[in-house]
Structure 1
């Protein structure tokens, strides 16, 4: 049996996506093992989730470092001790330096609460409503130095209802995030998802620029 993919998860807050990953990959024979969780905030509830699951936790306060570069170098040093095959950003509220992104290139994933490339940045749910979008959702992508850029792996799309507001839409997108992120992590862990110089492939087939779009809960 091949060794499990070693994943390290970065968080800043409650860690609901972390919990979704823990729930899916908690079995000993799972293809992915969360080897540690790192937070830049000591009071992040996601650290409690990790400890309850018996996962190592790391806290590095970004305020204790003289620069963004110094903080990211300290993160790299702490993280590399765990030999991660995959780094998963799960609500990590820091803009990463190019040096950090380059160090983990091809094994650094992020999830964003919109159907990228639409609505990069913040306040995505309100912006989707204000612009009259018919669909909204979330996207998983490999991270590059461009904010919310990088090759798109997959998107989960939902229909915006006439009675949706930013809060109800956010809750519905969260549900999709908790399905989509573990699915993409599994693809990577099982060697099905590959980032090559020519682009992304899933099961040997090239993915389109917008990644694989899943609708109506089709998370297979």
Structure 2
């Protein structure tokens, strides 16, 4: 059996690993220059992914196409004819779509365009171990959780931002102890050791504030956050 896996992130590589273990031939297509997906952009997660990927990277039944995407798919009999953007034509028995996810883009009206207002992935670049040091003017940081969720347009919990923020605070403290941290949230939904982690951070001086409305105003060398407690 020959299977096409679209997407070379952690989901695509996991699918490819299982398929290879079952004796299938796997063709993996990744639009970026190398497999990794979002996991390769998260601070200090690259090594874990690279180790995981190395377990199948040299497999004789695995073929990888990078810097290209699927251009056309046509069903034929019990399989599919595939045209890739690099001109390669394939015939496969099955297709797995593991195209990953897109990071949420906050509304400019709520989160203004400023070098001091950044997304989690942008902040990851700062706290990553390959970065030499934390910028000297970054001594007071606030995390705003539930962005894009727990609101009228999308009332559900994202299920990830609480844990993600705690992880970033942990890496931040490992890089720089003398930072003042405030976390604005709607609800904290933590499991297992994450609950004890946030308790530890409270003892280290991290402020957790349950708020409803926030307004962000960029100033010359800082950002002002106006909020109302629930």
Report 1 or 2 for greater relative contact order, CA contacts < 8 Å, sequence distance ≥ 6: 1
TM-score, reference length from structure 1: 0.32
Q: TM (normalized to structure 2)? A: 0.31
User: Which structure is larger by alpha-carbon Rg, 1 or 2?
Assistant: 2
